[in-house]
Chains A and B, each alone.
Chain A
Amino acid sequence: MTVTVGYDDVEVGTELPERLFPLRRVDLVRYAGASGDFNPIHWSERAAADAGLPGVLAHGMLTMATATRLVTDWAGDPGAVLEVGVKFSSPVVVPDDDEGASVSVRGVVEKKLDDNRVVVNLTTRCRGEKVLMAARATVQLS
């Protein structure tokens, strides 16, 4: 592995700066194809309305992948992520326009464990709402 962050260089409270990730309708279609999750609430306005939803929603797993990316980019090596877990607390509505939805992700080192591992707590929002709760990743640092 080529982890670029040293365990001794981080403290509880070390921040992973906020980044913004756009999610447009085409990104949902692309994710449906790559993941095989063709649930129509992720691409059809009609199916979303029939299911009583406020609009077409991003796949929860796409939101989770987006949040996880903050950690894989920070560590410099995706293999450094030993565990990642989230609760989906609020849906990410993706309108059919040029902007789509903007998902913000920031992180903070919450715990230092043994064997150079740390726990990063991730805050993921869309339109001010927390879209993930209890979002944490355990990361192997160098």
Chain B
Amino acid sequence: MSLNQDFVGRSFVSPVPFQVGREHIRQFARAIGDDNPLYHDVEAAKAAGYSDLVAPPTFLVNAIPGALGLPTDDPALGLDYALVVHGEQRFTLRRPVVAGGELITTSTLTGIRAVGRNEVLVTTYRYDTSSGEEVAVGACTLVSRGTAPPRG
């Protein structure tokens, strides 16, 4: 089944602010096998000029609402997550993400286009502090395999 084009242009905002937690940064850093002291040792992070532990750049993926910013559990979109593969991902940081902060993420589905038998979903993100300052932006493409309508 093809995806529902009515979803293009819609935005999804984190229902509650994402708390950037110390232990989550440590846990995420361990999961990517990275023992950088700035991810683990508060004193080392402070000595480097941060107010608390700094997050790895790709930690931002954790603050995206839903499944990479899409309402995959809304049957009206028609997306079968088992058929989805990740196409592209980008993050642009305006400032480092540091433990103790809050992030509010707005994810916008900007397009769904057919490429052969696949459909490519393009999503953009914006991360703000709870007081509205921009922390980062991002973009993602997801490939829904084999769901494009047959041509002709």
Contacts and interface: CB of A to CB of B under 8 A. Distances in A.
B32 to A, nearest CB: 4
Contact of A78 (B56, B62, B91): B56
A72 B89 contact: no
How would you classify the secondary structure of chain B's contact residues: helix, strand, loop or mixed?
mixed
A88 B88 contact: yes
A79 B89 contact: no
B48 interface: yes
Between A36, A82, A134, the greatest number of chain B beta carbons within 10 A of the residue's beta carbon is seen for: A82
A84 interface: yes
A85 B89 contact: yes
B84 to A, nearest CB: 8
A61 B68 CA distance: 11
B49 A88 contact: no
Interface in B46-60: 47-50, 54-58
Interface residues of B, number: 36
Interface of B: 24, 27-28, 30-34, 36, 38-39, 47-50, 54-58, 61-62, 81-83, 85-93, 96, 139
A66 B48 contact: no
Interface residues of A, number: 38
12 contacts: A31-B31, A33-B27, A35-B28, A61-B61, A66-B32, A69-B56, A72-B34, A79-B50, A83-B93, A86-B88, A86-B90, A88-B89
Contacts of A21: 33
Interface in A40-58: 41, 47, 50-51
Given A31-B32, A81-B93, A83-B90, A72 B56 contact: yes
